[in-house]
Amino acid sequence: MQQKREEQRKSIYAYRQNNNPVQQPMVYPAILSVVARELYRRLSTSTIKKDDIEYRNVFRGRDAVELLLQILRTPDRNLALLVGRALDIQMFLHDVNYEHHLRDSVDELYQFREQVSASMGLPNTRGSKMDEALFADRQKDHDVDNMDFPTGVFTVLTDCYSPTCSRDKGCYSSSCPRKSTKVSSPTLNWKQTLKRSQSQLSLDAKESRNLWIHSVPKEVVDVTPPEERRRQECIYELIHTEEDFVRDLQYVHNFWVKPLITSDIIPSERCEHFVQEVFWNIADIEKVNTQLSRALCERQAEQDVVHCIGDIMLEYVCEFDPFVAYGAHQVIGKFNFELEKKRNPQFAQFVEETERRPESRRLELNGYLTKPTTRLGRYNLLLREILKRTPEENPDFELIPQIMELITEFLLQVNKETGISENMFNLQQIEERLSFKLASDFDLRLRDRDRELVMKGRMKRKGNASSDASDLQVFLFDHYLVFAKIRYQNHLEYYKVYRKPIPLELLTLTVSGSNFNNRAKRASSILPYSRSSTMLPTSSTALPKPSTSENLNSNKPASTAITFYHHGRRGSPPMTLYTSGSTMRRTWVDKIKEQQEILAEKRRIFAVQPLLQRQFGITNKVNSTEDYEGRHTRRVIVGADHGVYIGGKDDDESVMRILSVEKVSQVELVDNAQLLVLADKTLWSFPVEMLDSEIQAKKIRPISQHAAFFHVGQCMGKTLVCVVKTSTLTPTTIRVLEPVIAEEDKKGRRKFIQRLVRNGSENLRPYKDLYLPSEASAISLLKTKMCVSCPQEIGVIDMKTFEVQALLDPDDEELNFVFSRQDVRPVSIYRIQFAEYLVCYNEFAFFVDQRGRFKRSRGRIDWEGVPDAFALQYPYILAFEPEFIEVRNILTGELEQFIRGTHIRCTKASPGTIYGTMSDPDNDRYQLVFELELVRKHQTAMSSLAQQSSNPTLF
C-alpha cells in the first residue's frame, strides 16, 4: 500500500512537470514554513529612506512579491500576494509603521519579525553605507535553524492526497489539482479573498473615519470654497492623527509600563533598569505631544473653519528634542525587549496576553515603540499638503516652511544619532562577547569614538563542511579583521579569537584558491603607488585589481575560497576560509579593499612621490641615493650595482651614468663639495664639479680599501667621515677622516681639482684610528661622542679621550628585555631632546636617559615587522622593512600609518629628506626610486613640535 502511494505521488509530480508550463517549484509551496524559510534566506534587505527616516534591514513590498513568484513558480501576482499575506498574518513580516499588510508596491517598506537569534544585536554591516548586494547570500543559514517560522498549509497549492488519484483517472474531489479547473477555480476568488484589511491601523480605515465635512454644519461646508475644504480636511487629519498618537502613547504607559513596574513579572532588581532601557524617554514625548494635541483641539473648537495652525506647531516643534534621543536608543530598547521575552517565560506570557487585549488592536509592542519615530516623519507629509492649499495671505504660508525646516533638522539628527548609537551598541555587544586566550592578549579599542563595525559574517574552514563546528565568525572593523570561534550561552553567541587580529594595512587577500603561492601573493599586495592609479599623491595603500578580477569574472565555476595573509613579524600563517557563495566572497573582498583605501587616506601622513621610474632594472640594484643642488635644478645621485647615476628629480627620463664602477653600496655628499662613493668595498672621492660629465674611474685614486661602510656627520665642531674597515686581524677598525676642502685657496681651486684627480686622498686627512673588539653595523655621531652599534651592544666613544663605554646601563633591570635577547641587534640611535635618546633595535625601540637607564614613562615600541633601517622626521619614526614601512608617533608610540610595497629599502634618511626604492607596482622588472613627502596638513603641526623639542637629530 505504501509503495503504491509513493508511485502515485511520483506520477503526480511527473504529470505536473510535463503539463504545467510553469516550472516545478524549488520548494513545496503549500507548506508556509517552507515558503517562509526560503523567502527569509533569499530576500535581500538594505537601508532605505522613507518620510526622511532611514529604515535599516528593510525590503520593498514589490521585491517580496517578485521573490514569492520565483519560489512558487507561478506568474500569478495575486496568488503570490495572498501567500505573502498569509505569512504577514502570522507576524513573520510587517510594515515598518505597522499600519497595513503586505502590498505589491515599491513605496511600502517591510521588515522581518524581530527575533532573538544567537547573534542578535550584531548587524551584518554598517548601516546606510552598505549596498544591497552585500546581502545577496545573507549568510543566514545559522539563523534559519533557530527561527520560529509561520506554520500552516495553503490548501490551494497542495497536491492531491487521495490514494486513488492517478494521472489517467482523477479522484472524486471537485477541487483536485489534476482536474482542468485546478487553475481557474481558486483564482476566481482572488479578488474577493484579497479584500483590504479593516483594521483600525490601516490607511483605508483612517480614510473611512469621520471627515471635516462631517464634523461641521452643512451650511459651513456649502459656503466654503473647494480648495479651502481640502485644506480643512488636511488640518483635520493632522489634528486627529495627533490625538491618535497621544492615545497610543498613553496605551503604552497604562498597559505596559505600569503593569511591569507594579508586578513581579520581572525581578525587582532588574525591573526599573529594563523599563528604562525599553521605553527610554517615551514619557517625555507623551508630555510634549499631549500639550500639542490639546492646543490643536482647542484651536479647532474655536471655530468651524480653522484659520491657521502654524503658530501652535512652531511653538511645540521647538520642543521635539526627545524624539532624537528616543530614536537613537530604539535599537537598544528592541534588543532588551526581545532578549527578555526569550529568557523570561513569565514575561513572554505577559507579552502574549497584552498584545491580545482589545486595547492593543492586534498590534504588537514593537509597533507602538516605533510610532514616535514614524510620527516625526509624518509631520512634514501632512504639513506639505496643508501648505499646498494655503493662500499666500494666510500666516501659515510663511510659518509652515519654517516648521518643516525644523522638523527636517530633527529627522537628520535622528538618522545620524541612530547610526552612531547602533554602531556603539553593536561594538559593545561584540566587546562583551569576544574573548582572547589571555585577557591581556590584545586591545581592539572597540569603545573608541571613531570605531566602526563594517561587516560581519560566517566562513567555513573547510569548503565542503556542513557542520557548524567548522564555522568561524569574521568581523571586519574599520581597523582590524578578526576571526573567532563561536559558542552558545544563554541564547546568545560568544566568540573566542581564533587567530591574531590582522591590521587591515598588513592584510593581503587572494581568491585564486587555497594555495598561497608567490604569484598570488605578489598580485594581491597592497601597494602605495601605481602609474595607472589616480590616487598616486593621496593614497598610501591601494589594493590592485589583479588579485580578484581574474578569478571573480572567470567563466570557470566560481570558487568561494579566500586566503588571508598577515604580513609582519607577528603575523600568522596564511589561512583559507570559504564563504557561503561567490557573491558573498566578492562582497567580502570589495568591502575589505574599500576599507583599506579609506583607512589609508585617513591615516595618510607621508605620501609616496616617484622620482625615477623604469630606469633601473632588477639586475641593477639601487643601493643608495643622494640629493644634489645643481646649477639650475635639483638632481638625484644614485648608487647602483653597475655604477653611479645622476638624474633630474622632476624629469625621470634624463638619467645618465657618471661613474662606471661595480657594486656601489653608498654615495654621499660632504659639505656639498665632494662626493664619496663606496664601490666593492673601496671608498672613492671626487669634487661635485665633476658630476656634469662622465668620470673616468682610472683617473681617481681610492681613499680606503676593505671598507664595509662609512658615515658622515658632525662631531667636535667638525665634519667627520668615519670609515669602517674589516680585516682578519681585528674585527673592526674605524678610520676617522676630516675633509680639508675649506682650507684651500679659492683662487687656486682649479689647480686643487686637478691635484685631487691625481691623488684622491689629499682632500681627506686622517683624524683618528679607532679599534673595536666586535663587528660594527652602524655609526652615529653626537656633539662629542661616537656611538657604534654592534651585534650585542652599543658602544659610546668619547672623541676627546677616546674612552669606550656601553650606552645601556647593565645594572638597570628595566632593560632585561634587551640584555636577555641574543637575537636582536641595534640599528639606529636618535637624540630626541636633552638627556633623552631613542634607541631603535630591529624588533623594538625604547627611550633611555643620559645615564643609559630605561625611561618607563615613555614606554616601548614593538615593531610589526623586522626593520633594517630607520628615518626620523619628528615626531615620527619610520621603520623600513622589505614589505612595508611603518610610521609611528614617538610621543605616543602609536602606529600612525603603513606604506606597503615589495623589496622596500631606505636609500637616504636625513632631516627633511627620505628616499627609498621598491619594486615598481606597474612592472616588477623595474625598481621605483621614490621620496616620502609629508602631507601638508601635518607640516604645520610638525614644525610646531620641532620648535618645542630640542632640535631632534641623529646622534
Distance CA(782)–CA(900), nearest Å, equals 33
Least confident of 1-10, 784-793, 798-807: 1-10
Distance CA(272)–CA(878), nearest Å, equals 54
Q: How confident is residue 293, by pLDDT bands cut at 50, 70 and 90?
A: very high
For the chain, what percent of residues have pLDDT higher than 90? 35
Q: In the beta sheet, which residues pair with residue 629?
A: 634
DSSP code at position 588: H
What would the pLDDT profile of 243-259 be if each residue is shown by its tens digit?
999 999 999 999 999 99
Top mean-pLDDT range of 165-179, 290-304, 739-753: 290-304
- List of E strands, 790-902: 794-798, 804-806, 826-833, 836-841, 844-848, 860-862, 869-873, 876-881, 884-889, 895-900
Q: How many C-beta atoms lie closer than 10 Å to residue 421's C-beta?
A: 17
Given a cut of 60, is residue 883 above it in pLDDT?
Answer: yes
Distance CA(667)–CA(639), nearest Å, equals 6
What would the pLDDT profile of 837-858 be if each residue is shown by its tens digit?
899 999 999 999 888 899 888 8
Q: What is the pLDDT of residue 867?
A: 93
Q: How confident is residue 98, by pLDDT bands cut at 50, 70 and 90?
A: confident
Given a cut of 50, is residue 203 above it in pLDDT?
Answer: no
Q: What is the pLDDT of residue 716?
A: 86
Q: How confident is residue 439, by pLDDT bands cut at 50, 70 and 90?
A: low
Least confident of 86-100, 436-450, 481-495: 436-450
DSSP SS3 for 683? strand
Q: Specify the fold of 15-162+184-193.
A: Arc Repressor Mutant, subunit A (1.10.10)
Given a cut of 60, is residue 220 above it in pLDDT?
Answer: yes
Given a cut of 70, is residue 746 above it in pLDDT?
Answer: no
Tell me the one-letter amino acid at 863: W
Residue among 613, 617, 623 nearest 654 (CA)? 613
Q: What is the pLDDT of residue 279?
A: 95
Q: What is the pLDDT of residue 691?
A: 73
Determine the average pLDDT of the residues in 692-701.
Answer: 63
How much is the pTM? 0.74
- Asked if residues 922 and 531 have their Cβ atoms less than 8 Å apart, the reply is yes
Same fold yes or no, 209-430 and 438-602 = no
Top mean-pLDDT range of 398-402, 453-457, 554-558: 398-402
Determine the average pLDDT of the residues in 455-480.
Answer: 80
Determine the average pLDDT of the residues in 624-641.
Answer: 84
Least confident of 491-495, 866-870, 902-906: 491-495
Q: How far is CA 543 from CA 84, 125, 889, in A?
A: 43, 21, 25
Superfamily of domain 209-430: Dbl homology (DH) domain (1.20.900.10)
Residue among 674, 821, 799 nearest 741 (CA)? 674
Higher pLDDT, 355 or 15: 355
Q: How far is CA 76 from CA 38, 65, 192, in A?
A: 19, 10, 15
Given a cut of 60, is residue 511 above it in pLDDT?
Answer: yes
Tell me the one-letter amino acid at 787: C
Domain segments of the chain: what residues?
15-162+184-193, 209-430, 438-602
Architecture of domain 438-602: Roll (2.30)
Could you tell me whether strands 434-435 and 492-497 are parallel, antiparallel, or unpaired per DSSP bridges?
Answer: parallel
Determine the average pLDDT of the residues in 877-896.
Answer: 92
Tell me the one-letter amino acid at 76: D
DSSP SS3 for 168? coil
Indicate the average pLDDT of the chain: 80
Residue among 613, 606, 506, 610 nearest 564 (CA)? 506
Higher pLDDT, 635 or 623: 623
Residue among 725, 673, 729, 732 nearest 702 (CA)? 725
Number of H helices, E strands in the chain: 25, 41
Could you tell me whether strands 869-873 and 860-862 are parallel, antiparallel, or unpaired per DSSP bridges?
Answer: unpaired
DSSP code at position 785: E
Higher pLDDT, 467 or 419: 419
Could you tell me whether strands 480-489 and 502-503 are parallel, antiparallel, or unpaired per DSSP bridges?
Answer: antiparallel
- Asked if residues 490 and 503 have their Cβ atoms less than 8 Å apart, the reply is no
Higher pLDDT, 161 or 609: 609
Given a cut of 60, is residue 116 above it in pLDDT?
Answer: no
DSSP code at position 935: -
Give the number of residues written for the chain: 955
Query: Dihedrals φ, ψ of 260, to 5°?
Result: -70, -35
Q: How confident is residue 441, by pLDDT bands cut at 50, 70 and 90?
A: low
